[in-house]
Structure 1
Amino acid sequence: MPAYAIGNLHPKPVLDEEVLTYMERIQATLDPFGGHFLVHGAQAREVREGTWPGAVVIIGFPAYEDARAWYDSAAYQALIPLRTRHMAGDVLLVDGVPQGYEAAATAARLRASARPA
């Protein structure tokens, strides 16, 4: 099942040299774990509900274990300060859904489990 690293980052108006170095080097840390960018630094075109300050980053991985191993790797841990010294944000790792996933089937299971015995 795929997994994703998702970032909501708050870059400053002028990017620092360290952030540019981070951007230049991050792909090499992703490659051993099958990581690839799906979204990189995009601003929301429309916020339909709530608020979303910042830029969106979504990185796909073959599995959660790959995402976790990438984040915990020495190569990526060495890069993190280049970003965090210059921009705030939130980063999380999440599981994706399996191929053929249907929300209605999940709803049916939840309904069935909520019925009194």
Structure 2
Amino acid sequence: MTAYAVAHIHDLDLNADIVEYLERIDETLAPFGGRFLVHGGRQQATEGPEEAFIVILEFPEYDRAVQWYDSPAYQAILPLRLKNSVSVAVLADGCRADHRSTDLLTELGLR
């Protein structure tokens, strides 16, 4: 099942470290089948910090997303982003095409 890495980033300091991070991240994704789904473009924060933005990466499966995040290549550049922004990052499984919001109640044992 497809998996995603989602980052909610704000208070970004666009400096040389961030430029280096952006120049190097693509090469870290390729070995794990990762690709950008949302990165830049028009975004409007409807809740939370106004200057915040979202980045969404897609991976063929959850384990590949974890392997990418834990890889030496990504861990080598991660501090460049962490010391120049405030963010929350999450790795998550995608949903089946027929997923309904109430399916979560079943998964949580509430139904």
- Runs (4+) of structure 1 exceeding 6 A deviation are none
Partner of 2:8: 8
Q: What do the CA deviations read for 1:25-80 (whole angstroms, capped 9, x no partner)?
A: 10100000000000014563362xxx132110000000000000000000000000
Partner of 1:84: 82
TM-score computed with the length of structure 2 as normaliser: 0.83
RMSD: 2.3
Who wins on radius of gyration, i.e. which is larger? 1
Give the stretch that moved more between structures: 61-70 or 37-46.
37-46
User: Which sections of structure 2, spanning at least 5 residues, go unmatched?
Assistant: none
User: Which sections of structure 1, spanning at least 5 residues, go unmatched?
Assistant: none
Matches of 2:110 and 2:28 in 1, distance apart? Answer: 44
Where does 1:97-112 land on structure 2 (aligned, <5 Å)?
97-98=95-96, 100-103=97-100, 106=103, 110=106
Matches of 2:17 and 2:57 in 1, distance apart? Answer: 20
Pick the structure with more helix per residue.
1
TM-score computed with the length of structure 1 as normaliser: 0.79
What percent identity do the matched residue pairs reach?
40
How has the CA–CA distance of structure 1 residues 96 and 19 changed in structure 2, closer, same or farther, with 3 Å as cutoff?
A: same
Partner of 1:33: 32
